[in-house]
Amino acid sequence: MSGNVLTGVVAATITPLEPDATPDVGRLVRHCTWLLAHGCDGINLLGTTGEAVSLSVEQRIAVMRAVAGVGLPVERFIVGTGASAFADSVSLTREAFALGYHAPLVIPPFYFKNLENEGVFRYYARLIETIAEPELRLYLYHFPQMSGVGFDHELIGRLTRAFPHTVVGMKDSSGDVAYARSVADAFPQLAVFPSSETALAGGGTMGFAGCISATVNVTAPIAARVWRELGTSEPSVPSPDETSLSAMRSAMTAVPLVAAVKHVVASLFGDPHLARVAPPLVKLPRTVADALDRRLDGIEAFGEVRRNCA
């Protein structure tokens, strides 16, 4: 954190689940506590990695309240509050604000495709005006592969001009670093977070505020070191930590990501319950999981991560 602005390494946390696929809040709190103690500057709660769209509004609100109720620093949490139904997004965003979370992260409505900028603008404008809280801070969630809706510069510009004190950041999960850099260059007032920790080295020089990443659930200690040591420099040769981050992320993104991250976290902490995923996702097949384990075990820095989980 820098003042009241969130920067640095942010984990898009998993949501541990009970056998009936309801949130396991106890395990979630323990994992968030570990992340904050091992390098994370913040946490993205109830995002894509957190399988939020597989949970009901009531379940998402219960998770928000439970995490806020145990003394974790909610001012360091970004909370996914987007939904296709406008009223659901209002309920979730209002609750996140009332509980004191740093900011809601709002994906566009994701059922109707090929939306015009006018429709997306009206959705966000109506959301902000309905919440009607001058202190509300909101992050745009750019994930066109999942939502089918992107943010071009015209739309971002219109939103930031209309709501300059509310629209303060963006999580870019497109995987297109050139796009993220173009947004950071065009809108320096926005905190732009790419979705990969491989953007951390030199990220500050490119205008990035850090990263919000699923794989930080695993790589947090190494990612934190890269951001602190290399975030504001432009190394000409990748450091060993950068190489390790890239290798660990590549291993986990080569297979279904949410299931992969949950499998690795479960293995690191010796808790198979952490590997549960909600329908329609499925756990990694045993052969795939074993191959992932072997690939990660061959990365030297992964041994450091394992020691931090002991």
Cβ neighbours for 152, distance < 8 A, ≥ 6 positions apart? 117
**Whether residue 12 has pLDDT greater than 60:** yes
Contact criterion met (CB below 8 Å) for 171 and 208:
no
Q: What's the whole-number average pLDDT of the chain?
A: 96
> What is the predicted pLDDT for the residue at 233?
83
How far apart CA 219 and CA 304 sit, in angstroms, is 10
**Whether residue 3 has pLDDT greater than 50:** no
Confidence of residue 237 (pLDDT cuts 50, 70, 90): confident
> What is the predicted pLDDT for the residue at 78?
98
> What is the predicted pLDDT for the residue at 5?
79
Please confirm whether the linkage preceding 280 is cis (ω < 30° from 0): yes
Given the structure tokens 């981050």, which residue do they identify? 245
Contact criterion met (CB below 8 Å) for 133 and 122:
no
Mean pLDDT of 78-90: 97
Top CATH class of 8-236 equals alpha beta
Q: Can you list the positions of beta strands (E) in the chain? A: 8-12, 42-45, 77-80, 103-106, 138-142, 167-172, 191-194, 210-213
Sheet holding 138-142: strands in order across?
191-194, 167-172, 138-142, 103-106, 77-80, 42-45, 8-12, 210-213
> What is the predicted pLDDT for the residue at 235?
66
